Structure 1
Amino acid sequence: MTETEPPELPRGIALAWGVAANPQRGPKREMSVEKIVDAAVELADAEGLGAVSMAAVAARLGFTPMSLYRYVTAKDDLLLLMQEEATGLPPQSPLDADGWRERLLALYEEQVMLYLRHPWMLSLPITGSPITPNSSAWIDAGLASLEGTPLTTEERMAVALAVTGHARWCGVVQAGYTEQSRGSGLTPDEVAAQEAALFDRVITAEEYPALRRAIEDDVFTSSADPFRFAVERTLDGVAAYITGLDRGEAHAEATEWIDIDPVELSGDRRLREAQKAVREAEKALRAAHKIERQALRDAKDRVAKARKSG
């Protein structure tokens, strides 16, 4: 009976862990994987991810693109190493906080700041679990925050991922406002006020009643932090769940991943056409309802005028 061979580490991951062989020939000490990655991160921070190319990084370092390929053989590997470098290790301070909730909230805040310092990270595709040292350290910190609780390993991972998800979504929105502010010259508050005015112009009570009420309550110009509220309420639920476990209640039944039919993702032409037809029908139905509502308003106006004239 033979043992299964462990999978070979992809080049980028091997470089991140420091187990990939360095090139034997090429530029001498002036070049290294670390210097290449540092230059790429500086370029992304200054000009965005779109400005990063092997040629641009090489020019920044004063070398030819072919020189870089001796150290980083593919741009995808470079992006992975950039993400690893920008992510860094989680600070110790969150783990020194008292209680699992305080530790997770501190990690949440640190992750938000990470995205605001390096907003280009939000443009990197998520292609699976981040199997690199620094990214693994953040996962470890989230799990460590929940040690001592009665949560199972799966439940701890779920809570840690929820907090990470909240941080990422906050980073997406905040970084977007920052970029819009930089491009327009407006302050973030002025950008929010501009958006609120645009919503006020196009959102009607007939078509979007709940959103219209929210606009009239000045939700888009409120100083309240909706992201902090959301993560706090998520942790309220976790706290209530832990309290139940402490009282002897059973763990929630484990659920499987969402079952997605491969046919849905196959790109079948007939399926796409059928889905498009459904969307068009839903659009037509909404338009018909709009006409109905307008006709009802017009009828009420005519009745009201008739009563006044009568």
Structure 2
Amino acid sequence: MTDAPDLPPRLALAWGVAERPERAPKRELSIERIVETAIEIADADGLGAVSMAKVAQRLGFTTMSLYRYVTSKDDLLLLMQEAALDVEYPPPHDPADWRAELREWAQFTMATFASHPWFLDIPVTGAPLTPNNLRGADSGLRALRSTPLDDEEKMSVILLVSGYARNAARLQTDLARAVAAADGDATVQGGAWADALRELVDEVRFPYLRPLVEAGTYAGEGDIDDTAWGLERVLDGIAVYVDARAAGAPGAGNRGGSGSTPVDGPGADGAASAPDPRDAVAPVEVAVHLKDPKVKKATLKRRDAERRVREAQKKVRELKKALREAQKAEREAARAAVEKARA
């Protein structure tokens, strides 16, 4: 390993390889405290309430003092997302069951978004390159370890399912905000206007929608959990593709053929027939995983271990740099000695 990787400041901060300012003995400001405070503000008042000035005020420091740790608000937003994703994903199944594990991964992702509604308000500006974002992708790929998909196909599956999770979470968040903005009045979701819609939605202009409005299906609460149902249909489509690949169909990836990751678990798809979505792990149960004290304690221990590893790696880099400098000085001294002897 040479010196720290050449990364933009925000990514260097996220990976813990950025140079940190020296702190005065009695001062308690740190990147971690800045990010935690910004998240507290966003959780309480939304992303629009977050500013460098407000975070500094909450911490009792000047705004300029924050810029010694976080160089811009954009960097702060990225670090907030990274902190929100610092969670422990559900463990793998034994034997492997790609469908059940991918379902849990999607539900856990939605629960993570729901725990911080502001998360989805931050625009996507590029591919995920921060460590916790990549840990999430790694967990999703782990769910597909028992399938015959190649690497590109696995990544495409992860993008498909994560896209569904993001869109579903966005819809739920927007509806919740609409209800909150109406002082808890759930009629903003349309249920209270069923009678009016029956009068307005006629069979001439809306021939296919009219029967649903007439039956109360359009604006009413049905028996189907739309989010869970939609996820199962996405998984159905993936299952068809996995079965086809297991039967020898050519792959969609550039490399085709089988993936580089060994297949394990019973059968090619790791699961039997598609389960009823109502038998799936409920999102609320997945959300509990985020708040479990033992999980939180384990997460803190992992963070501390990762911090110590980063510090050790930094020390190794410093020692290797010192070694290179000493070797260079030795060569220069030897060269000077030879030149002096020749003279």
Q: Structure 1 residues 75, 215: closer, same or farther in 2, change over 3 A?
A: same
What is the identity, as a one-letter code, of the residue corresponding to 2:53? A
Quick check: 2:90–2:104 contact (8 Å CA) kept in 1? no
Matched, 1:75 2:73: yes
Which structure has more helix as a fraction of its residues?
A: 1
Quick check: 2:182–2:188 contact (8 Å CA) kept in 1? no
For 1:97 and 1:75, locate their aligned partners in 2 and report how far apart those are by CA, in whole Å.
Answer: 45
Aligned to 2:221: 222
What's the offset of the Cα at 1:21? 0.4
What's the offset of the Cα at 1:228? 1.7
**Regions of 4+ moved over 6 Å:** none
Spell out the pairing of 1:125-274 with structure 2 (5 A cutoff): 125-186=123-184, 188=186, 191-194=189-192, 203-217=201-215, 218-223=217-222, 224-252=224-252
Q: Structure 1 residues 107, 71: closer, same or farther in 2, change over 3 A?
A: same
What's the offset of the Cα at 1:34? 0.2
Aligned to 1:10: 8
For 1:59 and 1:32, locate their aligned partners in 2 and report how far apart those are by CA, in whole Å.
Answer: 14
Aligned to 2:323: none
For 2:109 and 2:65, locate their aligned partners in 1 and report how far apart those are by CA, in whole Å.
Answer: 34
Q: Structure 1 residues 37, 253: closer, same or farther in 2, change over 3 A?
A: closer
For 2:195 and 2:241, locate their aligned partners in 1 and report how far apart those are by CA, in whole Å.
Answer: 41
Quick check: 1:97–1:103 contact (8 Å CA) kept in 2? no
Gap regions ≥5 residues in structure 1: 1-5, 255-310
Aligned to 1:30: 28
What's the offset of the Cα at 1:113? 1.1
For 1:108 and 1:141, locate their aligned partners in 2 and report how far apart those are by CA, in whole Å.
Answer: 11
For 1:114 and 1:188, locate their aligned partners in 2 and report how far apart those are by CA, in whole Å.
Answer: 24
What is the identity, as a one-letter code, of the residue corresponding to 1:227? T
Quick check: 1:116–1:171 contact (8 Å CA) kept in 2? yes
What is the identity, as a one-letter code, of the residue corresponding to 1:222? E
TM-score when normalising by structure 1: 0.73
For 1:201 and 1:11, locate their aligned partners in 2 and report how far apart those are by CA, in whole Å.
Answer: 59
Spell out the pairing of 1:36-47 with structure 2 (5 A cutoff): 36-47=34-45
| Identity in percent | 43
Q: Which has the higher contact order (CA 8 A, sep 6+)?
A: 2
Classify the secondary structure of the residue corresponding to 1:221. Answer: coil
Quick check: 1:139–1:160 contact (8 Å CA) kept in 2? yes
Quick check: 1:72–1:78 contact (8 Å CA) kept in 2? yes
What is the identity, as a one-letter code, of the residue corresponding to 2:43? D
Quick check: 2:96–2:146 contact (8 Å CA) kept in 1? no
Size of the aligned set, in residue pairs, is 250
What's the offset of the Cα at 1:76? 0.2
For 1:179 and 1:96, locate their aligned partners in 2 and report how far apart those are by CA, in whole Å.
Answer: 39
Q: Structure 1 residues 45, 213: closer, same or farther in 2, change over 3 A?
A: same
Quick check: 1:96–1:103 contact (8 Å CA) kept in 2? no
Q: Structure 1 residues 104, 156: closer, same or farther in 2, change over 3 A?
A: same
For 2:187 and 2:125, locate their aligned partners in 1 and report how far apart those are by CA, in whole Å.
Answer: 35
Aligned to 1:277: none
1:86 to 69, 84, 87: 84
For 2:97 and 2:60, locate their aligned partners in 1 and report how far apart those are by CA, in whole Å.
Answer: 50
What's the offset of the Cα at 1:140? 0.6
Q: Structure 1 residues 201, 33: closer, same or farther in 2, change over 3 A?
A: farther
